[in-house]
Amino acid sequence: MNSWRIDARVFCALMKREWYTIVDTSKDSLIDGTVHLGVQFILIRFLFPTLGMPNSLIAPLFVGSIITILFIQGFTTTFNQVFDLQGPRVIDYYLTLPLRPAWLMGVYIARTMLSIAVTTLPFFFIGLPLLGSVLNLDLKIVTFSALYLLMLLCFSLWYTAAGFWYNLTWVLNNLWPRRIFFIFLFGCLILPWQAVYDFSPIIAYLFLWNPVTYMAEGLRASLLAVPAPIPIVASFGVTISSIGLGVIALKAGMRKRLDPVM
């Protein structure tokens, strides 16, 4: 059996194990997602319109809240990974299995993608039909699916990489306030980019330094019947570039923290 086939088979065995946990915890993840959605439903359907917020701002906010889930769930990945590295180090066992580290990282990435995706399922399967009239939907399914998958990959990569770069104390004390918070806040998740531009073009251009702005605007363009101020090609381009950088960060972090036989 050649080593590629061995890698692939061990990868599948590890994914089976991950799937086992994901299925086991999926009930909780779905409840979490539904609770988030419930809050969003009350805000979007009742509170914001009552307060006079125009539909042009409400619908983009809903899409932003889906990306917020990626931020929150991704953090759990980093925490679990850092905890393992400073605690039991199950990863050391995995590193002695007959598969190369790149494939092992593939397992970590796929696991994170799946667990985040499960939490966002209620938004798509319950939220979109329920809030369709308010959101003014225009679903471009292929574009949306492709961009969403790339975003899941990007978040998984960066959060997994963060798990190798930082120690547990730093992650607990600083990852949100010193890293995620700024990316989150200046990522056009709350307001669409056009609204920021209308307020101040300078601030809007500053937002363009953040890849999350492109992801959020791309997702809005593929879900809603709104004009896209940022071309969808740019959203794909920036997301793919961020994935590339994420791969580099993950590889460097893995070398730094694990020093594996590559």
Partner 1 sequence: MSQKFLVIDNVSKIYGSGPQAVHALDNVSLTINAGEVFSLLGVNGAGKTTLSSIIATLHPATSGNVLFKGESIYNNITEYRRHLGFCPQKQNLDHELTVYENLLFAGRYLLMPEHEIKQRIDELMTQLELTRYASFQINALSGGNKQRVLIARALMHKPALVLLDEPTVGLDPDIRRKLWELIKQLKTMGITIILTTHYLDEADTLSDRVCILDKGKVRLVASMQALKEQHEMESLEDIFIKLTQEYQKEAA
Residue numbers at the binding site for partner 1 (CB under 8 A) = 3, 6-7, 9-10, 13-14, 16-17, 21, 24, 88-93, 95-100, 259-262
Query: Smaller CB distance to partner 1: residue 49 or 106?
Result: 106
DSSP helix/strand/coil, 179: helix
CA separation, residue 239 to residues 96, 181, 210 (Å): 33, 19, 11
In whole angstroms, give the CA distance from residue 127 to residue 120: 10
Q: Strand, helix or coil at 137?
A: strand
Pull the structure tokens for residue 16. 């089976």
* Complex with partner 1: residue 18 or 32, whichever CB lies closer: 18
Which pairs from 234-239 meet CB under 8 Å and 24+ separation? 235/147, 236/146, 236/147, 236/150, 238/211, 238/214, 239/147, 239/150, 239/151, 239/154, 239/211, 239/214, 239/215
Report in angstroms how near the CB of residue 35 gets to partner 1 at its nearest.
24
Residue with tokens 């570039």: 241
Least Cα distance to 122 among 15, 34, 28 occurs for 34
Least gap, CB of 101 to partner 1 (angstroms): 10
Nearer to partner 1, 99 or 110 (CB): 99
CB of 96 to partner 1, least distance (A): 5
Tokens for 228, please give them: 């896209």
Length of the chain: 262
Q: How far is the CB of 1 from partner 1 (least distance, A)?
A: 8
For the bound state, the minimum distance from the C-beta of residue 216 to partner 1, rounded and expressed in Å, comes to 34
Which is nearer to partner 1, 2 or 50 (by Cβ)? 2
Name the minimum Å distance from CB 251 to partner 1.
15
Nearer to partner 1, 19 or 176 (CB): 19
Closer to partner 1 by CB, 17 or 178: give it.
Answer: 17
Burial class for 82, CB neighbours closer than 10 Å (0-12, 13-18, 19+): buried
